[in-house]
A and B are shown apart, each in its own frame.
Chain A
Amino acid sequence: DVKVTQSSRYLVKRTGEKVFLECVQDMDHENMFWYRQDPGLGLRLIYFSYDVKMKEKGDIPEGYSVSREKKERFSLILESASTNQTSMYLCASRSRDGNYEQYFGPGTRLTVT
């Protein structure tokens, strides 16, 4: 089974802090994704990585950056956290040769105070 893990289930940070959310997958997938999930808005794509060191902005990249130094790990960075970044963050991965099916981690619920 594909396993996608995220470093924290719950995180509380202060406004202005730099926040790192880590995601690791164990299936050698080329593609990895970061989404944020908010009530009534569904999942919105923040960033996408199609290979090591390769990244592409999603629909809502403002205020975020990403890092992918190794194939299995994809990090989401909030350079200066703000209260409007309080949300559930979901990481996903998929094989480049697959049928677009994405495999999700358990999510990190981030609260910025």
Chain B
Amino acid sequence: AQSVTQLGSHVSVSEGALVLLRCNYSSSVPPYLFWYVQYPNQGLQLLLKYTSAATLVKGINGFEAEFKKSETSFHLTKPSAHMSDAAEYFCAGRRGGATNKLIFGTGTLLAVQP
């Protein structure tokens, strides 16, 4: 991906509600796409990844994401939010060209209200 865009720097949901975090990418090559989660004062942890296999990818903690080529999107969802899901979420994609680097979105901070 030459660019990765996360829509919404802050998202707030109620406990038990659907979580939807948006990510769009631009790429001229088949993408590898990732969602990472960062809990306060910690490093990034991989939630899930798309590597050109199944378009619906399941990750840890009940999260999943669907790769939609026609929409150049890779949105992250979870049917029912839990208080422990409060964290910052980053979408990332492979940079274009002959590179093994990733490009990251600017992050979405998820708040879960009781």
Known contacts A96-B100, A99-B32, A99-B51; is A104 also within 8 Å of B107 by CB?
Answer: no
In A63-113, the 8 Å CB interface with B consists of: 90, 92, 94, 96, 99-107, 109
Bound form: Cα–Cα A9–B105 in Å: 24
The answer to whether B49 touches A99 (Cβ under 8 A) is: yes
How many Å lie between the Cα of A40 and that of B94 in the bound state?
20
The number of inter-chain residue pairs (CB within 8 angstroms) is: 52
Assess A43 versus B104: contact at CB under 8 Å? Given A99-B51, A101-B34, A101-B49: yes
Contact with B along A28-72 (1 / 0, CB 8 A): 000101010000111101001010000000100000000000000
* Number of B interface residues in the complex (CB < 8 A): 22
Interface size on A, residues (CB 8 A): 27
Interface segment, B39-47, B62-70, B78-86?
A: B39-47
Determine whether the beta carbon of B46 is less than 8 Å from that of A101: yes
Q: Contact at B105–A42, with CB atoms within 8 Å?
A: yes
Which residues does B use to contact A, with CB under 8 Å?
A: 9, 32, 34, 36, 41-46, 49, 51, 90, 92, 94, 100-102, 104-107
